[in-house]
Amino acid sequence: MSLPYQWILFDADETLFYFDALKGLKLMFSEFGVDFTQADFDEYQLVNKPLWVDYQDGKITAAELQTIRFEPWAAKLSVTAMTLNSAFLSAMAEICSPLPGARELLAALQGKAKLGIITNGFTELQTVRLERTGLQHHFDILVISEKVGIAKPDVGIFEHAFELMGHPERDTVLMVGDNPHSDIQGGINAGIHTCWYNVHGHDVPTGITPHYQVSSHQELQKILLP
């Protein structure tokens, strides 16, 4: 049976992989002798979340995001912010695991469509995580915003991917992701089809209309391979 798409592009964090930042930060800070609490995490997120919005809007670079978010803790621990960031990404790679059904979906799609990843996550984590989970062989392209210098939803990161893909017809490409503002709006900006992986059942944001909406990888597999 032929798929409706020649290419399926996935986001990484919270689309293919768990991204439990609190768990990763607890592990990382334990190596510095710190018992990192939920209150500490809430305070961290007050800085971190707006930085991600600025990064997606092209207002700051990946390096700025990665350092600014750890500057308060770097000052407390007398280390550099980049030291903490690197330790955090290592901890995240250590605890990572695929989301339920992700491994099975990728296996089912193998040989039926070309697969790729477009992620706003950071280089230091992406390649290690793919190797550790044994999923790297599924993907024909891996596009990381930090390397490209452009983040989703900017059409530029998709144009970069299309070059690597050999410029397929746009209606033969599907973007799957959990973030409607970066993944879905980004796919719409690029003129490709989109699937919102909406596991928590959130309302569709005003002005963003995905072609599909699923709450599990099994549901997506039924759409692609009925």
The domain segmentation of the chain, as residue ranges, is 7-18+98-224, 21-95
Residues 191-205: tens digit of each pLDDT: 999 999 999 999 999
| Cα separation of the two ends of the chain | 9
Give the right CATH number for 21-95 from 3.40.50.300, 3.40.50.720, 1.10.150.240, 1.10.357.10: 1.10.150.240
Strands (DSSP E) contained in the chain are 7-10, 114-119, 141-144, 173-177, 193-197, 212-214
Q: What are phi and psi of 17, to 5 degrees?
A: -125, 145
Q: Which of 11, 13, 154, 183 is catalytic?
A: 11
Q: Is this prediction's pTM over 0.75?
A: yes
Helix axes 217-224, 102-109, angle to 10 degrees: 20
Burial track 151-168 (b if 16+ CB lie within 10 A, e otherwise)? bbbbbbbbebbbeebeee
Question: Where residue 2 falls among pLDDT bands split at 50, 70, 90?
Answer: low
pLDDT exceeds cutoff 90 at 127: no
Check if the beta carbon of residue 50 is closer than 8 Å to that of residue 57: no
7-18+98-224 belongs to CATH 3.40.50.1000: yes
**DSSP code of residue 172:** G
Check if the beta carbon of residue 119 is closer than 8 Å to that of residue 55: no
Mean per-residue pLDDT, 163-190: 97
Token output for 192: 């490709």
* Region for residue 213 given its phi and psi (left: phi exceeds 0; alpha: psi -120 to 50; beta: otherwise): beta
Is 11 an active-site residue? yes
Say how far apart CA 135 and CA 100 lie, in whole Å: 14
pLDDT exceeds cutoff 80 at 24: yes
pLDDT exceeds cutoff 60 at 1: no
